[in-house]
């Protein structure tokens, strides 16, 4: 989570951790999905980061638990050489308490990306209680961990970072609030268009944002409405239009729980464009008032 973009720079996105900047354009970075959950462990709020990645060796899985100051409490890596087993657990001792991580991917089904679609579970157990459970095999998880069903406490997904690729259309799925449904997101842009290209964002096949004269508005933000909540959309397509063919565009969908951000109803085609500067940026994962779920999309253009 520490390598999430902190601001839009002149050539795209600047990363917070310099050690990660060397791999932003690599094939490995283009095949990873990072999900950050907020929960409670040891009586205080913690962040659990799940990283799915794929390389020439196969699928990789990483589970890291940090406190709110981003200090690592413990970490479990499932490397490709071990991933063939697809099932296992690891027990870690932290402050004289045990944190157990269980995973089962024997029946996991994958699409084009590194994150499984179904047939799996990952469970983090602390003192006999499941503090995080993801995947659709929940009954199997409770049976394996021996945790009491009633003790299960839902963790909150606060941010997701995903690398997507395409030629003109880029798609993914996202759930913008805990009780909301999963939506199909489509980003359409023909950056190679000889005429002035246009950026279109569709949610569940409905156009929610259309930006014309993109060469003049290659960075900006606009508010849309999803599940009754305002969602701020930030975009930076500078690399698509003016950078090298290896460059990527960056999109941020930030849901807001603040009553101050209301749907204004202005025409999306005439929406004002504002630059998302470093002074206006926030550090991902921090518990800022009014901030809900953040979806970062790194869109890579296929040749």
Instruction: Decide: 147 and 130 in contact? Cβ < 8 Å.
Output: yes
Report the percent of the chain where pLDDT is more than 90: 36
Q: Which residues contact 3 (CB under 8 A, 6 or more apart)?
A: 15, 16, 17, 20
Mean per-residue pLDDT for 143-172?
83
Q: Which of 209, 167, 169 is nearest to 188 (CA)?
A: 169
Helix then strand then coil, % of the chain, to nearest 5: 10, 50, 40
Q: In this model, does residue 18 exceed pLDDT 50?
A: no
**What is the strand order of the sheet 199-203 is part of?**
169-174, 183-188, 199-203, 206-211
Q: What is the pLDDT of residue 118?
A: 93
Q: In this model, does residue 30 exceed pLDDT 90?
A: no
Predicted structure pTM score: 0.77
pLDDT digits (tens, 9 = 90+) for 91-132: 888 777 888 999 999 898 988 888 999 999 999 998 888 999
Q: In this model, does residue 155 exceed pLDDT 90?
A: no
Q: What is the pLDDT of residue 291?
A: 52
Q: What are the C-alpha distances in Å from 29 to residues 161, 240, 242? A: 11, 18, 22
Between 57 and 271, where is the model more confident? 57
Three-state DSSP state, 269 = helix
Q: In this model, does residue 58 exceed pLDDT 60?
A: yes
Q: What is the pLDDT of residue 288?
A: 38
* Sign of torsion over alpha carbons 12, 58, 171, 242: positive
Instruction: Decide: 230 and 213 in contact? Cβ < 8 Å.
Output: no
What are the φ and ψ backbone dihedral angles of 10, each rounded to 5 degrees?
A: -65, -30
pLDDT digits (tens, 9 = 90+) for 257-298: 543 343 333 333 333 333 333 223 333 333 333 458 999 999
Mean per-residue pLDDT for 68-74?
80
Q: In this model, does residue 241 exceed pLDDT 70?
A: yes
First to last CA, the chain: 29
The C-alpha atoms of residue 275 and residue 7 are separated, in whole angstroms, by: 10
The C-alpha atoms of residue 235 and residue 187 are separated, in whole angstroms, by: 11
Mean pLDDT for all residues in the chain = 76
């Amino acid at each position: 989570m520490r390598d999430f973009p902190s601001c839009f720079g002149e050539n795209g996105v600047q990363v917070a951790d310099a050690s990660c900047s060397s791999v932003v354009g690599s094939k490995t970075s283009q095949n990873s999905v990072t999900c950050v959950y907020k929960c409670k462990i040891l009586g205080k709020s913690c962040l659990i980061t799940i990283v799915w990645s794929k390389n020439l060796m196969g699928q990789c899985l990483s589970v890291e638990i940090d406190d709110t100051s981003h200090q690592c409490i413990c970490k479990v890596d499932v490397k490709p050489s071990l991933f063939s087993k697809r099932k296992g657990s690891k027990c870690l001792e932290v402050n004289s308490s045990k944190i157990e991580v269980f995973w089962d991917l024997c029946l996991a089904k994958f699409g084009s990306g590194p994150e499984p679609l179904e047939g799996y579970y990952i469970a983090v157990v602390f003192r006999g209680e499941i503090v995080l459970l993801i995947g659709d095999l929940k009954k199997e998880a409770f049976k394996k961990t021996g945790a009491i069903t009633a003790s299960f406490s839902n963790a909150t997904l606060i941010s997701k970072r995903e690398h997507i690729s395409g030629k003109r259309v880029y798609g993914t799925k996202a759930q913008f609030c805990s009780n909301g449904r999963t939506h199909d997101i489509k980003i359409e842009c023909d950056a190679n268009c000889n005429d002035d290209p246009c950026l279109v964002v569709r949610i569940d096949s409905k156009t929610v944002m259309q930006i014309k004269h993109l060469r003049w508005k290659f960075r900006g933000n606009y508010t849309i409405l999803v599940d009754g909540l305002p969602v701020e959309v930030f975009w930076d397509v500078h690399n698509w239009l003016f950078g090298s063919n290896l460059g990527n565009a960056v999109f941020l969908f930030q849901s807001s729980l603040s009553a101050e951000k209301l749907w204004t109803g202005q025409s999306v085609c005439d929406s004002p464009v504002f630059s998302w500067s470093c002074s206006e940026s926030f550090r991902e994962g921090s518990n800022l008032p009014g901030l809900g779920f953040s979806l970062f999309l790194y869109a890579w253009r296929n040749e």
